[in-house]
Structure formats: structure tokens, C-alpha cells
Chain A
């Protein structure tokens, strides 16, 4: 029995998988896809139940406090019960993938499902997609940990979890796959694509089996003309502006909330009550908001240009208040709602200005707006394009979709160089995608670059004796140590002895202690290589002594660094 358990713990050692781990990853991808799909459906069902249950109470005035209660409970749950340092979820997954080989905590597999259910179910303006991505990714990571898979395999399973979750919640396998690769892993390699595709299929099948093969938004046929495609350029600009506005509003609210000296759950309640007040006047901004998208796509949304613009802006405000003040959830669903209303506003504006032109149905622009927002805020055009195609079930909008998504992504990139998910990571220097400079330098350590073939000399050594050492050494730098304590005192460079070299009278008169440079810049064994390299570049030096606890350990040079850098880069990119 114990032998069997031991064998199960290390599947990588089975003869079936030993030669090539692709089959191993495929098997685990199916398991992770099913588990993450089930997690996504669990949240989906819970939200439906909670929203239906609370729906009857929305007519009462005190319903404005429901989002406050939900956000406070959600915050208390995360802070006091599961002790999770709360964030949006997706940046944490990307951080784990880029820095720690996809290691995620087990508690992350369920904590965000419960907290986001409380926030969104009570009316908070957020989406369930980021929590299910977090949950799926944590499931993948913990399955990989349980079966002792290596870093690369673990990262692939994290991607599988994210893909399975998105695929299940939207019934959209391609979107799940593209999202996992484009946003989570940021690396298109066949080793990852195959298991992720399989996990996305598994997640979708779980969803279809338990929920039926439903397309999120009913398919409509749109008659798109050239002038509609031209108008898409303008729509893309509006989408980009809305994306940037949402990104900045979310961050501004977060900073504002941090400055309030109140417990997190109280801050979440404050944000929630403000959302409740907005929702009392304009219920479209509450919850995920998919019912509003349905109406927008079907072209049956009553109200004029002012109202739809107000809904888009207030949804941005409500989402910022919910998430920025401590509620739990993601921005996927709010982006779809805001995008749909930006599309609708733009269509109505165009129809008002050029009333003689026969424009395509406004539902088409709602769809394009959704893609524009998703592409812009995540700076992931493929995710936006495939998601809208899959959730609307129509392929005929592909050309304007590409136009809106690519232009929106490009404009957003100009205005906000990093996407919403990556912004904090980039600012903290924590985004370490494989093959990037930061990642290569992080994976190298000073210890492995240490050149230990230096000959140490003592300060009381005569120049003549020192020259004998120089003859046997092939280095230009000589560390000087105290004879008794072995403490590092300074360095002698060959240039330092040049003035005395051709004057034999000085050879017995000058001591090395008089020649050495006492103010040499050194680095410690535990310094970051990026800092060391910056120091070298700033001071125009090619090598530095490594000193720890006053002891000379060796030299670090740019030449060795470059050599190791190339090797590491080749390993990370798989290009030899």
C-alpha cells in the first residue's frame, strides 16, 4: 500500500512518462481542467442562487446596504478566516508564475470563490472570472505540488487551471486557452499550448454537461458595411479611453482607501454602501451586469445617449468603489458591461450626427465595445477577439473585432504601458517573464558567477614580493587582506603599480599597503545582480570584489556575467 502511494506521488518516474512528459501533462491537464471547471460552475451556481434570493429585497430602501454587508463579510472572510492577503487574484497568479514557478497556496483554491460570491451576490460591481482563474490556477498548482512535478510542469498546470476556469464559465474553450497563454503565462510554447488546450476542452465539457451547451449571448446576424468598419476606429478610441479611465479609477480608489485609517472591512462596507446608493438609482451597475449586456446586444435597450453614457461612467465608478475599497472580485464582467455601453453610446452618437447613414444594428457595436474594453484593459487583443466571438456565437463580426481590439490595445499601451493586471508588478520590478532581462538576472546568483582564482596579498608585503605574485597570476586585480584577521582591506590593480614598475629602487621601498585602493566599491554575496550591474554601469567598472562579513570571497566581472547570461537566456527561451 505504502509502495503504491509512493509510486503515485511521483508519476514523473513512471516508465510511461519518463521519456517524454507531454503525456503526463495531458493526463494532469484533463484532471485540472475538470476541477477548475467544477469550481467555476460552483461559483456560477452560487451567484445565481444568491442573486435570485436577494432579488426580492432590492425594492426596499435598505437594499442599498446589501452591497456594503456583502463587501464587509467578504473582507472579513479573507482577512480573519482564511488569512489571505487580498488582491485581485490574477496579478498574484502572474507573480507566482513569473517568480516562483507557479507556486500558489491551497487556500487560494477556494478563498476567492467564497469572498467574491459574497461581494457580487450582494450587488457589488465585480466579476466572478478573476476569482475562478485564481481558484483554477491554485488547483493546478497544488495538484502539481502533490505529485511532485517540476517548475515547468507546474507552470503549465497553473495555465491549465486558468484556461479550464475561463472556458467553463463562458463555455468558451478558445478564449480560455488564449487567456491563459496571453495573460497568465505570456509565453507561446507548444509544451504549454497542448495541455492548456486540453484543459480548456475539459472545462468546457464540464460546463456543457452540467449547465447545457448555452451561448452566453444569443447569436444575431449583423449586416456590416465598410462605413461600419471605418466607424470602428472611433469606437476603438472610446474603448481605449474607457479602459484607461477604469484602470486609473481603480488604482485611485485603492490608494484613497489605503489612506483611510479604518479596518479593511469597514472600508469595504463604505465602498459597498456607495455602490448600493448608485445601484438604487441605476440597478444596471449592480452585480456582474450580464442582464444589461443581453439587452444591449439585442438592440432593445431603451433610453437615450445620455443614459447609456451615464451607465458606462457609473459602472466604472461602481467597479472602482467595489474593488478599490476592499470588495473581492474581478474586472472581466464589468469590462464587458462598460464595453457594451460604450459601444451603445458610440452608436447612438454616430446615429445622431450622421442620421442619413444606415448603420449596423447597435447590438453589433455593443459586442465590439466589449472586445475593445477587454483588449484595452488587459492589453490582450486575442483574448478580446475570441471571447466575443465565442460568447456571441457569431463569426461575421471578426473584421471589425480585429480593428477595435488591435487599435484599442495599441492606444492603451501608449497611455498606460502596462496592462491593469501587470501594472503593479511592473512598477515593483516583479514581472519576470521568461527570456526577459529581469528574469535572466533573477535566475542567476552572485555565488555562481564568483571568480575565485584571485591571489590575496597582505599590506606589509614589499613590491618586489608582490611582483613575483603578479608574474604567476593571470588577473589584473589583487585583493589585500589583513594577515591576522583576514579582513578585506582594499584592492590593487596592475595600473596602481605601473609608476614603480620600471624603478628597481622602489621595489624594496614600497609596500603593498601603500599601493592599495582602500575605497574600492564592493558587493555582497546576497545583492541583486541587477543592482550590481547598475553599479558597474554607473561607475564604468568591469569587475568588483565580493565581500561578505569583511572577508574577500572573489570577484564578479561583466565578462563572466555575460557568459552566464547567454547560457541562462538560451535555457529560458529554449533556443540553442
Chain B
């Protein structure tokens, strides 16, 4: 079944890097990119129990005459059939509805703020809302096009971390890349984490793809992040812990996104694992 990645094209050099990253992800995963070239700065995404209004940074509407050509050029160069998305439903005449039945979505760190504000440590409120409400994982790209050669999963033991690990296994299997697991164990016994993975029935899936499982026992978590390969796609869960998940992004997630500049594939609390 053809899976799709939804990408909102920003007709700027930064947008080109983001689209290149999406194309790379699609090529690796065998996923079809669906590109939306916005005509208005607003759109709505209706999720299962939430409606998110995305107010795009005006640079998304830059030079509309060349936007289509630029997007098609990048897709054709990657030998991908350009599939452009045109909204069918509108809540108001200037407020299109974007479907939420995609398998993946690509976002830069922020889609509502000026690109000059985007940097490490900042993920915009709309991107956070999308991650919180979406059934699909969100690909947050690095600032420049950066192909990845391995998969790194951050596993903290929560139910959402198990989902993130499943996602990492899926990505590693589809891309034939090796997978590393990183856990900030602290004083906890590593066997506790191994037991969680065993109980989730993931041991067998990991057998052929697991490169190594690193347990950080000393130092602060953010200091240990230097060990994460720079060319890895980092897979992790967000909003993972109980009622706090509805308010907080997750402390581990915040530290990772503010420390490393890798591509991030984030599974939110509503992420539904595809078999």
C-alpha cells in the first residue's frame, strides 16, 4: 500500500533544504511525497479530538509563480512523480482543511515563525500541537539537507518510547540501515529496559538490525548526546508520561531537540503503530 508523506513547500532556500530532506526520507522509505504549495497563510488540520489552525510564516507564499516549478524540479531530479495536494474542503473561503490521514508529515522546527527565529532549542507551538494530536509521526528536518546513514532510537521505557522503538524498527527494516538504541539509565539497571523491550515482543525484531544499545549511566543527558552519530535519523517519542504528556513536550525530547541538529522523527502520544 502506497504510504504518503505530507510536505508543505516553502519557496525559499530553507524550504528547498526541507523538501530535499523529505525527498530523501521518501526515497529511503519507499514513501510518496505529497507536496502542498499553500495559497493562503492559514489552514486547519482536523485531528481525532483536536483542530489545529496553522498560521504559516508569510515566506511560504514567496514568489508563487516559481513555487511550483521549484518543487517539481526537486522532485523530478529525484526521479519522483510530483504529487501536488489541492485542498478540497474549506472551513471558510480563505481557510482550507488539510487532511490528516497521511502516514508521515514533514515540518521544519517552526511553520508559523520567521525562519530567522528558527534554531536549536526551538520548536514552534503549531508543530508541537501537530505532534500532540497526530496519528502519524512527524519528521523535523535539520536546517540543511543532511542524508542519514543509520537510525538512533531514544528509549526511556515509557509506553510512548516503546512506540518510538517500534517506529525505529520499522524505519530500519524498510531502509536496511542499522539501528542504535540510547538510554539514559542513570542509576536504573539496564535489565529493566531490556525487560520492557522483551515484554513488548520487540526482541526478535531487533535481532538482525540492532547495532548496539548504549546506556548512559554517568554525566548529564545533554552531555551524553555527543555520542549520538551525527549522520543518524533520531527517532523518539514525545508527550510520553501520563497526564503531563498533555502539557509538556517531555524533558528528554526538549533536551534532544535543543542539543543535536540531526533529523528527528517524532512519535506523539496519539501515534498509531502501523503493522
Partner of A87, one of B92, B242, B244: B92
What residue of chain B has the Cβ atom nearest to residue A150's Cβ? Answer: B49
A355: min CB distance to chain B, Å = 51
Are B91 and A96 in contact (CB-based, < 8 A)?
yes
Using Cβ atoms and an 8 Å threshold, which residues of chain B touch A86? 92
Q: Are A85 and B94 in contact (CB under 8 A)?
A: yes
Residue B95, interface by CB 8 Å? yes
> Is A5 interfacial (CB 8 A cutoff)?
yes
Surface stretch bound by A, among B17-25, B50-58, B138-146, B249-257 = B50-58
Are A553 and B1 within 8 A (Cβ)?
Answer: yes
* B49:A145 contact, CB within 8 angstroms: yes
Contacts of B51 in A (CB 8 A): 96, 100, 103-105
A85 to B93, CA, bound (A): 7
Interface residue? B46 (CB, 8 A): yes
Let me know if B242 and A6 touch, CB within 8 A: yes
Q: Which of B91-148 contact A (CB under 8 A)?
A: 91-95
Pairwise interchain contact A145-B46, C-beta atoms closer than 8 A? no
Whether A549 is near chain B, meaning CB under 8 Å from some CB there, is: yes
| Neighbouring A residues of B275 by C-beta, 8 Å | none
The yes or no answer to A99 lying at the interface (CB within 8 A) is yes
> Is the CB–CB distance between A549 and B95 below 8 Å?
no
User: How far is it, in angstroms, between the C-alpha of A145 and the C-alpha of B52 when the chains are bound?
Assistant: 12
Question: With A2-B242, A99-B89 in contact, do A83 and B49 touch (Cβ < 8 Å)?
Answer: no
State A100–B50 Cα separation when bound (angstroms). Answer: 10
Closest to B83 in A: A549
Asked whether B243 lies within 8 Å of A2 as measured between CB atoms, the reply is yes
Given contact pairs A86-B92, A105-B53, A551 touches B2 in the complex (Cβ within 8 A): yes
Contacts of B2 in A (CB 8 A): 525, 548-549, 551, 553
> Once the chains are docked, how many angstroms separate the CA of A535 from the CA of B242?
48
Bound together, the chains give a CA A502 to CA B221 distance in angstroms of 76
Does B246 touch A at the CB level, under 8 Å? yes
Known: A99-B89, A428-B90, A549-B2. A85 touches B246 (CB 8 A): no
A434 to chain B, nearest CB (A): 17
Instruction: Flag whether A534 is at the interface (Cβ < 8 A).
Output: no
Contacts of A107 in B (CB 8 A): 53
B16, CB-defined interface residue at 8 Å: no
Closest Cβ of chain B to A134, distance in Å, is 12
Bound Cα distance A100, B1 (Å): 26
A96 CA / B89 CA spacing, docked (Å) = 11
B71 within 8 A of A: no
CA distance A240 to B93 in the complex (A): 28
Residues of B near A5 (CB, < 8 A) are 243
Whether A298 is near chain B, meaning CB under 8 Å from some CB there, is: no
Q: B233 on the interface (CB 8 Å rule)? A: no
Q: C-beta contact mask, A61-87 vs B, less than 8 Å → 1, else 0?
A: 000000000000000000000010111
Q: Does A9 contact B (CB under 8 A)?
A: yes
Q: Which residues of the other chain, B, contact A87 by a CB distance below 8 angstroms?
A: 92-93
CB distance from B110 to the nearest CB of A (A): 16
Contact with B46, one of A9, A100, A430, A548 (Cβ below 8 angstroms):
A100
Taking CB atoms, residues of chain A closer than 8 Å to B236 are none
Min CB distance B92 to A, Å, is 3
Residues on A with C-beta less than 8 A from B90 are 428, 430
Interface presence of B264 (CB below 8 A): no
Asked if B89 contacts A430 (CB within 8 A), the reply is: yes
A6 touches B53 (CB 8 A): no
Give the distance to chain B from A512, nearest Cβ to Cβ, in Å. 25
A92 part of interface (Cβ distance < 8 Å): yes
Give bound CA distance, A83 to B89, whole Å.
19
A6 pairs with B32, CB closer than 8 A: no
Q: Is the CB of B49 within 8 A of A148?
A: yes
Query: Which residue in B46, B50, B81, B95 is a CB contact (below 8 Å) of A85?
Result: B95
B44 → A minimal CB distance (Å):
8
Answer whether residue A95 sits at the interface, using C-beta atoms and an 8 A cutoff.
yes
Give chain A nearest CB distance to B84 CB in angstroms: 13
Bound CA span A103–B246, Å: 18
CB distance from B95 to the nearest CB of A (A): 3
Q: Which residues of B contact A525 (CB under 8 A)?
A: 1-2
Closest to A106 in B: B51
Q: Which residues of B contact A104 (CB under 8 A)?
A: 51
- Bound Cα distance A83, B88 (Å): 21
Cβ of B42 < 8 Å from any Cβ of A? yes
Q: Contacts A99-B89, A548-B2 hold; do A83 and B46 have CB atoms under 8 A apart?
A: no
Output the residue of B32, B49, B81 with the most chain A CB within 10 A: B49
- Chain B proximity of A104: nearest CB distance (Å): 7
Pair A103/B93 contact, Cβ less than 8 Å: no
A337, chain B: closest CB distance, angstroms: 27
Partner of A6, one of B91, B94, B243: B243
* Min C-beta distance of B274 to chain A, whole Å: 13
CB B241 to nearest CB in A, in angstroms, measures: 9
How far, in whole Å, are A86 and B94 apart by their CA atoms in the complex? Answer: 8
Contacts of B95 in A (CB 8 A): 85
Residues of the A chain whose Cβ atoms lie less than 8 Å from the Cβ of B32: 549
Alpha-carbon gap, A105 to B97, bound state (A): 13
A75 to B242, CA, bound (A): 41
Q: Which residues of B contact A549 (CB under 8 A)?
A: 2, 32, 81
B21 to chain A, nearest CB (A): 21
In the complex, are the beta carbons of B46 and A103 less than 8 A apart? yes
Judge whether A2 and B244 touch: CB under 8 Å. yes
A555 to chain B, nearest CB (A): 15
Q: Mark B11-44, 1 if CB is under 8 A from A, else 0.
A: 0000000000000000000001000000000101
Q: How far is the CA of A285 from the CA of B246 in the complex (A)?
A: 49
Residues on A with C-beta less than 8 A from B93 are 85, 87
- Minimum distance in angstroms from B235 CB to a CB of chain A: 25
Please, which residues of chain B bring their CB within 8 A of the CB of A6?
A: 242-243
Question: In the docked arrangement, what's the CA distance between A447 and B2, Å?
Answer: 11
B246 touches A9 (CB 8 A): yes
Residue of B nearest to A88 (CB): B92
B50, B81, B89: the one contacting A145 at CB < 8 Å is B50
Name the residue on B nearest A144 (C-beta).
Answer: B49
A-side contacts of B49, CB under 8 Å? 103, 145, 148
Contact among B50, B55, B81, B243 for A83, CB-based, below 8 A: B55
Sample of 7 A–B contacts (CB below 8 Å): A9-B243, A95-B91, A145-B50, A430-B90, A447-B1, A525-B1, A553-B1
Please list the residues of chain B having a beta carbon within 8 angstroms of any beta carbon in chain A: 1-2, 32, 42, 44, 46, 49-51, 53, 55, 81, 88-95, 242-244, 246
Q: A85-B42, A96-B51 are in contact. List 15 more A-B contacts (CB 8 A).
A: A9-B243, A9-B246, A85-B94, A85-B95, A86-B92, A96-B91, A99-B46, A103-B49, A103-B50, A103-B51, A145-B50, A148-B49, A428-B89, A430-B90, A551-B2
**What 3 A-B pairs come out closest when comparing CB atoms?**
A85-B95, A85-B92, A548-B2
